[in-house]
Amino acid sequence: MRSSSAAESAAQPGPDQDLGRHLLALRSALLQQRRFRIEQLADLGKASPDDAAQEEVHATLRRGARIALAGIEAALARMDRGRYGTCVKCAAPIPVERLEILPAVDLCMTCQSTAS
């Protein structure tokens, strides 16, 4: 069995270094999602539903888009404050793989599972 030396450990990126390499792409994904949600809200604002059922669907879509946009804005604010990639509940690092799938996520898997 081989033990790791301090030099080998230092050569391997830690969670913060790994996240740092991905921040630009994650910010770009968040900005793209923000543009989409803003356009979606504008389109939904222009729509004129024909009946109550369509109006209910549009209201639900608007609510969902506003919630998503708020999450995106919060993620961008966490980036600006240097807190992006850290669980807002327990302060554990959120794996880059999770952030790549859900760039606006603010909870680690453990806290997410207890919140659901």
Structural domain boundaries enclosing 67: 15-115
Say which CATH number the domain at 93 has. 1.20.120.910
Average per-residue pLDDT for the chain: 87
Residue 106 lies in a domain: yes
Question: Coil, helix or strand for 93?
Answer: strand
Residues 101-113: what's their mean pLDDT? 96
Q: 9 lies in a domain? A: no
- Distance separating alpha carbons of residues 20 and 8, to the nearest angstrom: 20
The answer, yes or no, to whether residue 51 has pLDDT greater than 80, is: yes
Supply the pLDDT for residue 91: 96
Per-residue pLDDT at 16: 55
The answer to whether residue 36 sits within a structural domain is yes
11 or 72, greater pLDDT = 72
Question: Which pTM value belongs to this model?
Answer: 0.80
Domain membership flag for residue 51:
yes
Helix locations, the chain, DSSP H: 6-11, 15-46, 52-81, 96-101, 109-115
The answer to whether residue 6 is domain-embedded is no
Kindly state whether residue 37 falls inside one of the protein's structural domains: yes
Cβ atoms 69, 34 nearer than 8 A: yes
For residue 83, how many other CB atoms are within 10 A of its CB? Answer: 14
Number of domains in the chain: 1
